Amino acid sequence: MSDDQNGVHVSRTVLFKVADKTHETTKGLEKLALSGLTTDYYAAFAANILLAKNFKTSDEVKKANAKKLSEVKKKCEECFNWVKKLQFYIKRAFNEGSPQWNELPEKISEAKKDEAEMLDLLPATFTLTDKYAVELKAKGMPTDYKLTGETLKGELETITKEHGKMVEQSKTYTVQRKLAHRKVYDTVNEINELGRQEYQDDPVTLKLFKSQWPQAKEKENGTDTPPVVQ
């Protein structure tokens, strides 16, 4: 998984596996504590790992946004069906091509899949239901037909705003998720770098600080900057 998704060069699975192992195997080491990696430091590290784990993945966020968008499209289609039925009533009352028929909004078909277009044209249809109420009702239009349309419009407006808000919030959420992942990633690197300095004369303990990032662990200097893992 690339930086675009997680804010680091490794997948979430690898990030948390390495972070958990680093936390468990290095906390409490005397030389680290004397260098500032105290009990409080490790407690904060554990809390940051948990915080990062609790973020939804980018795929989960995308699925939630897609689900809300599908609800918008479904409601837009309901509005379209309402308009088409109004067309039917006008056709019955005045015939297709009549002056009254020509008062219908243009681009009705295009509005079926465009919520902004639909919201723009609906008010004009409400005007027609009032203007020709007697004639349309005589041809079967329910008394509450305009109210039904207004309700649909209100629902479409609400759900469209909800989707827009979700999209905006997801951008902020993504930034926060990346920052949380980066904080865990950087903490692992900090522990490893300090550990290699403090325990360079202790081969057994030194092994704890050999980088566990993909591919990087094969490098002699134990660098904690791995290549991108797609």
Distance (Å, whole) CA 50 – CA 42: 12
Given this model, what pLDDT does residue 220 score?
35
Q: What is the C-alpha end-to-end distance of the chain, expressed in Å? A: 4
Q: What is the mean pLDDT of each run of 10 residues along the chain (230 residues)?
A: 64 95 96 96 98 94 96 97 97 95 93 95 97 97 97 98 96 94 97 96 96 63 38
Its pTM stands at: 0.76
Collapsed DSSP state (helix, strand, coil) of residue 140: coil
Asked if 121 contacts 107 with a C-beta cutoff of 8 angstroms, the reply is: yes
The pLDDT of residue 226: 43
| Structure confidence at residue 218 (pLDDT) | 41
The pLDDT of residue 8: 85
